[in-house]
Amino acid sequence: MPVPAEALATLRQLLERPRRVAIVSHYNPDGDAVGSTLGWAHLLKAAGHHARVVLPNTPADFLDWLPGRSEVLCLDRSPDASLSTIRTSDIVFCLDFNRLDRIGGLEDAVRAVKTKVLIDHHQEPEEFASAAFSDTSASSTCQMVVEIAQALGWMEHIDQRTATCLYTGMVTDSGSFRFRSTTPQTMRIAADLLERGVDLDQVHNAISDTNSADRLRLLGFTLQERMTVLPELRTVIIGLGQEELKRFHFKQGDTEGFVNYGLSIKGMRLAAFFMEHPDLVKISLRSKGDLPVDRFLKDHFNGGGHANAAGGRSELSLEATVQRFMSLLPAFLQAHPA
Ligand SMILES: [Mn+2]
């Protein structure tokens, strides 16, 4: 999608003179959240602005090597500096999320800043921004940052460090360029970033080879003991309870990607992952082809996301949540025949 002219004009105007800028992203920031905020911060600095990334909690450590990561403020580690940085900003950029309830303890401080700019690719944005770049077809927020840089004539500012941040987010959010949101334009942008010196080996090693022994054992247990394959529904269901998570010394991020193993079984079109938390059950769905799991989760499990990858939640027990899911599933699948 082309960068919207009206938002671009507003952005140009906002950045006409040097500004103090805070850049925020969602709770449990992923590769796209950290990559896009850092990439955008590098760009703004190169253009003469004062920019600082502020995150609602500390990202997983497999992103620690990203250029500029050590200067990121995290609310859980540095609450005072995080909040005062936002409060004293002229502009807050909101990247890779579109509802202010997605940024945890930063919400009130961000709401209080008058000028907010949204750059995001999730469905159904809340209207809180003075300028909104919302492209639900974009493969990642990092891709959008490059498109905006192109529109602003800022491509010369993308050096190797900036390119590395943005490329990393593009890789993680597109499932290494395999999700349907990956377009020729995605590849052209990735190629442009590669030309600026991204070390492919470094990026892919950092993203892929980060398992702990506990995580691998939890994965082995999950696939062996907690995965149900329903060939007639072309669906795979995985559920994990608190007790099992404790047994394998669960750390945040350990179950990242588990749901994708279900979808990697030949012939499957839907994978569901249910994880019990102390006060709720979180649901991750992945699908292939035309099976809009974001709508399903929005309708039934207080969730949302993308058509082929979405999340939701349930206040019921793990067992009751899976039962409810199973009772709703046949109608959903019938409404979207393969
Ligand atoms: Mn994203």
Structure confidence at residue 106 as a pLDDT band (50, 70, 90): very high
Q: What distance in Å separates the CA atoms of residue 253 and residue 256, rounded to the nearest whole number?
A: 5
Which pLDDT score, from 0 to 100, does residue 180 have? 86
Which pLDDT score, from 0 to 100, does residue 28 have? 93
Q: What distance in Å separates the CA atoms of residue 168 and residue 190, rounded to the nearest whole number?
A: 10
Bridge partners of 24, per DSSP, are 54, 94
Domains of the chain, each with CATH number or no CATH: 5-208 (3.90.1640.10), 213-335 (3.10.310.30)
Which pLDDT score, from 0 to 100, does residue 124 have? 87
Bridge partners of 50, per DSSP, are 20
Nearest CA among 225, 234, 172, 231 for reference residue 203? 172
**pLDDT mean over 156-184:** 96
Q: What distance in Å separates the CA atoms of residue 273 and residue 238, rounded to the nearest whole number?
A: 5
Q: Does residue 149 have a pLDDT over 90?
A: yes
* Residues lying with their CB under 5 A of ligand 1, a single-atom ion: 32, 96, 141, 173
Full strand arrangement of the beta sheet holding 270-276: 227-230, 235-240, 270-276, 281-287, 309-314, 304-306
Nearest CA among 140, 142, 164 for reference residue 66? 164
Span from the CA of 271 to the centroid of ligand 1 (angstroms): 20
The residue behind tokens 């950290």 is: 34
**Residue 137 one-letter amino acid:** S
Span from the CA of 141 to the centroid of ligand 1 (angstroms): 5
**What pTM was estimated for this model as a whole?**
0.81
Span from the CA of 174 to the centroid of ligand 1 (angstroms): 9
Which pLDDT score, from 0 to 100, does residue 221 have? 98
HSE, side-chain direction, 13 A CA sphere, residue 247: 11
Q: Does residue 253 have a pLDDT over 90?
A: no
Which pLDDT score, from 0 to 100, does residue 123 have? 87
